[in-house]
Structure 1
């Protein structure tokens, strides 16, 4: 294997504008770098080929990511007896992903979560976005939201495990957002049994940026998550209205069904108390995370007693969206014929707060020209 070297790639063919996201790759080794296998995952209706990258670490853990939506399609982790199972909801063909799904494993952007009424004002100008989650904008909008485009991919050299970098060039005005944006996410399956996601973005105009991965987890690899136990490092949450849009108020979790900080709790024990519109009862809210050491910390722990699997979420982000798959209704069939019914999976999405561009008291999400947006999240796969 040749020596690794830094090489700069454009995130879009035929576009000369670029703002310096550097991709470190092993030149000429895309097909056979240790721990990574590239294969075909089919084609989109347009005829565009979709590639699947299978990452395997020295301990036998496996993560699969496809170029369509830079999507985590599978994540295989051991239980207390060493038995492997896929703990990430997904589908066995790109056709099912393209047909439509609730962001399972996708990289979500330009702005994950909601923006109220699909509008924000920046520099005296009001920008109008798709209201794809009426009456609000959700997860980047319509057909050119980042979960619905085919990203470029390149195997990259990382000292802590096999890795692949996905890049996407989003044109000025795409889905109503200002600025040309170069975006990147590196997935690394580390030898310490974590899936590390390193996000980066640059822009040539001020623009709100808020990226996340929208994986649905089930630590049993089947059934529901009602018996999963959860801890969240948060003493407060952003209050939401009936459409799950923040009101701007930040409220304490103490003495509410939203408190997973005082002590871990079984998720299913509190669903009815969590509320929601019938029949979509359950959790779907943003937590205000406690500041971590050096800005990076374990912010949530999800565990399941029968398998002994434990998932830790580590991040430098200020918020975490906790969602219990309330809107899954059995109409989607995943891998192995598993019908995704309500509560089949749980989401723990690291993020900035929803609707931040419309709330001055929320942390800033506006990326300026000359700046580079960077954030990191890890899924640590442990056993109790």
Structure 2
């Protein structure tokens, strides 16, 4: 595994080629102290097939797909299934592959670009798919761009799986969260969407005004797909401890918000941690969209270009 680091006067980003993964993202708090606002593993070997997908690029299809597989142009393609779902692209997916370093620039807007070539029928998906992941630092913003092109019609849904903690350690229960979303996807026992949408009005899913995460996490952890009503921003996260605020923007129709109840502290750079140590914002299409014609299409046709562009802006509030 090879490490690459870029920085500007606001941010310092460290990535690894395995999974085109983010290991560290440094921003200064209100006292001028460096804070690693993402959780990362101390030893690179810990990233190999890690269950939390820590900081990884996820594909060919992020999220869950039903055990029926996918149907494209009247042909069904079976997909790897575990616990009655196909998750995050299959047995390995893009998160557990070594990506190629295409370019690194240390100029005014430094960037790192990785690529991965997914062969036809890898993990059961049709089409030779060429994927690019570019991390760019623009002032106080991390921009994550995924692009993909295929030689056969296929489905694509890419995202980044960063675990954010604006304190750099401990818990995110003291963070405030705001989501610009009126609906979440209803889900069944295996967390697959039923096809129905639930209004957040009067429910614990409602983050339309800034809400202390402790209130929600005392009820249940979050692992839900929020349908975006606006994307500039679509989410805001704030830590009163460090005064760091993060705004999330994206061209995607949804964001999967996930709060793991715990992670293995002994493996992490970020110490100490406690319950609910981080929160993920997986900007993407809806889970299982290939099996729900009422959802936005995840089909990528031959000759077209898929683009997921998301921005994470940091400031002191």
TM-score scaled to structure 1, two decimals? 0.79
Conserved 8 A contact 1:130-1:175 = yes
Cα distance change on mapping 1:127 and 1:158 into 2, 3 Å: farther
Q: Which structure's relative contact order is higher, taking Cα pairs within 8 Å and 6+ residues apart?
A: 2
Conserved 8 A contact 1:332-1:339 = no
Structure 2 spans left out of the alignment, 5+ residues: none
Could you say which residue in structure 2 is the equivalent of 1:242? 189
Conserved 8 A contact 2:247-2:314 = yes
The alpha-carbon deviation at position 271 of structure 1 amounts to 2.1
Conserved 8 A contact 1:167-1:183 = yes
1:55 counterpart = 2:6: yes
Conserved 8 A contact 1:333-1:340 = no
Equivalent residue pairs, number? 317
Q: How does 1:57-72 map to 2 (within 5 A)?
A: 57-59=8-10, 61-72=11-22
1:267 counterpart = 2:217: no
The alpha-carbon deviation at position 374 of structure 1 amounts to 1.2
Q: What SS does the corresponding residue of 1:210 show, helix, strand or coil?
A: coil
Could you say which residue in structure 2 is the equivalent of 1:171? 119
2:145 and 2:132 map into 1 onto residues whose CA distance is 8
Structure 1 residue aligned with 2:268, among 307, 331, 334?
A: 334
Q: What SS does the corresponding residue of 2:234 show, helix, strand or coil?
A: strand
The alpha-carbon deviation at position 244 of structure 1 amounts to 1.4
Cα distance change on mapping 1:147 and 1:340 into 2, 3 Å: farther
Q: What SS does the corresponding residue of 2:267 show, helix, strand or coil?
A: coil
Q: How does 1:350-365 map to 2 (within 5 A)?
A: 350-365=283-298
The alpha-carbon deviation at position 100 of structure 1 amounts to 2.1
The alpha-carbon deviation at position 251 of structure 1 amounts to 1.7
The alpha-carbon deviation at position 333 of structure 1 amounts to 2.1
2:132 and 2:76 map into 1 onto residues whose CA distance is 27
Conserved 8 A contact 1:231-1:301 = yes
1:371 and 1:382 map into 2 onto residues whose CA distance is 36
1:126 and 1:329 map into 2 onto residues whose CA distance is 37
Cα distance change on mapping 1:378 and 1:66 into 2, 3 Å: same
Conserved 8 A contact 1:118-1:131 = no
1:152 and 1:163 map into 2 onto residues whose CA distance is 15
1:348 counterpart = 2:298: no
Q: How does 1:289-300 map to 2 (within 5 A)?
A: 289-292=228-231, 297-300=232-235
2:81 and 2:40 map into 1 onto residues whose CA distance is 25
Q: Deviations 1:307-350 (Å, cap 9, x if unpaired)?
A: 10111111110000111113x354762116x3665411111110
Taking only aligned residues, the RMSD between alpha carbons, in angstroms, comes to: 1.7
Conserved 8 A contact 1:118-1:135 = no
Larger radius of gyration: 1
